[in-house]
Structure 1
Amino acid sequence: MIWRNIASNFLTLLVVLLIAAAAAVAWARHEFSGPGPSAVAQCVQIAPGASLNAVSQQLATQGAVSSAYVFRAGADYMDKARDLKFGSYLVPPQASMEDIVGVITAGGPSTCGTEVILRVGVRENSVLLRDISPETGVFAEVARHDPAAGALPEAIAAAQQKPDARLRVTVAEGVTSWQIVEALKQVDFLSGEVPEVPAEGSLAPDTYEIEKESPRAALLAEMSRRQAAILAEEWEARPFGLPYDTPQEALIMASIVEKETGIAEERPQVASVFVNRLQQGMRLETDPTVIYGITRGEGVLHRGLRRSELNTTTPYNTYRVDGLPPTPIANPGRLAIRAALNPADTDYIFFVADGSGGHAFARTLEEHNANVARWREIEAQRGQPTDAPVQGDG
């Protein structure tokens, strides 16, 4: 009888424990997948090499999760415990633990916190310090500095030392390889020497996430890898009948298109003008190539072209020589490469500035002369000289 009572009590206790365990599991699942406790957005910062235990405790301290233990158990159950990605991530209000696991293990660009950006532009470079507000999710500029002016301001210098600071390099379309190398030399969050300037056109304009003390040569190698991949992809998808024998020739054309217009929608039309000229045996007659022959990509020509320069024969003076110049004249972006390999189907063989930032295109010399006359009127109204060579006069 005693043993029967013991067995009965044991079974009762086991049932109670099983019910309690099931209830605990159900509660944990609800806690893990249900709305989180934070009423406001939060910036969650994952340090390099951080453990799941440390991150779970951090989240509980911030009030982003209700239980560090449940967060760890859920991440383990999702098989995400070893997938933490370094960075700073914006977590929306009442985000569930399941959502937070997804955010901090997906990787990608940081979405909150402090970021220091080197922007490499055609006419100027800048180092920006920006902070994002967790409440709004909007970056606000804190400081801006011209790296050629000397040492970084204290705020930027201090920010880039933060272990969770996001460092980026953003390269604009149409920048030359020399300009990129010189800009990289001007910031101290990169390291190492650059043995030589990469070939013109070989670097992809893009945004690059980097770590502090990343080698400059390694960053340039990544730029080159991306540009080669873009060119190969666009070359493979090109239509028949284009006047290019090699991808390099297409890259040269893309660089010309990039320098002739800053309006994305115009690129296929500009490309069509030059493709039509090549196919008709006409010279390209484009100012940016002449300018490159003068500067060799080392800086900007802060004036208009002179008649004497247009009349001087150089490999880059497409008013004087047939066909394409020997090299690209800048680093074109993907859209310019695509335009060079997918030009618009037009009969245009001329274009000139139209006063709005864009260009007026023409099929005949008569139409073109009328467009030039209108541009001269605009120049006169603006008080600009009207006897200088027409910039962009395809």
Structure 2
Amino acid sequence: MNCLFLLKSKKPEPRNQQKDRRKAQNSAPGQRNKSETPSFNLQRPRSLPSGRSIRDLDREREQSLRVFTYEELSEATCGFSRRLKIGHGGFGNVYKGKIPTTGDSDPPLVVAIKKLNPQGLQGHKQWLAEVEFLGVVNHQNVVKLLGYCSEDGENGMERLLVYEYMSNRSLEEHLFTRGACTLPWKQRLEIMLGAAEGLAYLHEVKVIYRDFKSSNVLLNDEFCPKLSDFGLVREGPQGDNTHVTTAKVGTQGYAAPEYVQTGHLRLKSDVYSFGVVLYEIITGRRTIERNKPPAERRLLEWVKEYPPDCRRFSMIVDPRLRNNYPSAGTRSLAKLADLCLKKNDKERPTMEIVVERLKKIIEECDSGDSYIAASKESSQVRCNSRAAGPVEGSLRGGVSVSVSVRE
């Protein structure tokens, strides 16, 4: 796959020189050697919601993206102990770690460390894409990359990424894990609004996420959603072009039909994936449920039998909500999902429009449905007993699979 930017290659630095370099960095915090920071090809200007360009963000982030040694990250995870493993996937494992802070009395910083398999070109490309993309963007609904490591080890090139730790796991875990506490309706809407704002930000800078799904929406201590796992990110079409052509990768059940069928990728391909997740939060079901009767195994085919305006629509709403949701608001959300899922991508709304529609649905919910009092009471349950649970849903080493099934 083509990366969003180009990382200048350089020869691996011997470990002893890296140790000396790290000591020099620690003795002079805030001073960074320009050659140690990924260099980006930023010829084309970008427009951001804040009015700043990608080049501006690059200069700001240059001083904050830390270069770790392999030894540092090994110590942070007790030698990449199995008991600290919080996720895994086709490209490696994710560990919970603790990084010492500058102050002697300050507690260590808890982080999530993704360790990619030493072999594998595809894993390296995804690592490169994440370093280059997350190294220059900063948004409250995009997971924060704290640093990275790239060293020549005994088993090949060691590639690691260090992220902020998301204690409340992924949206997928809360929706589908047996025994997990049920997310109240209002909270589901707020999570999807935050995720939509993150996607709208990416589209504003002409970036296609390409892998939006519930497992890639992480939740922090306050249940603020953050998009993660940017290994498949692509630069969007430029000029008069309507799409980019690329290899068909992603996750089965979430990919837009035009992408699956032709390999043509558009910004609104992400909008389709967002519509799939909207139906996941409405129904509490995965996009593919192999243990269901044949007519119910594919989520999008099943919900077509219960359109938002029909009397039987309530039959598809997540039963764990115990009827504690607004009927009109839920139908409005399903109608928005249907717009996102239009086969013709030109008929789908932009993510900016989706954000505004979600805000309106939330406002309508707050304005008077009888369920609200009970919902607000239940929304105070934050599952604190599980808040520190060891799951990092979006950072599972890149659990994306090739798309070969037409949806």
Q: Which has the larger radius of gyration?
A: 1
TM-score, structure 1 length as denominator?
0.27
What TM-score comes out, normalization by structure 2 length? Answer: 0.26
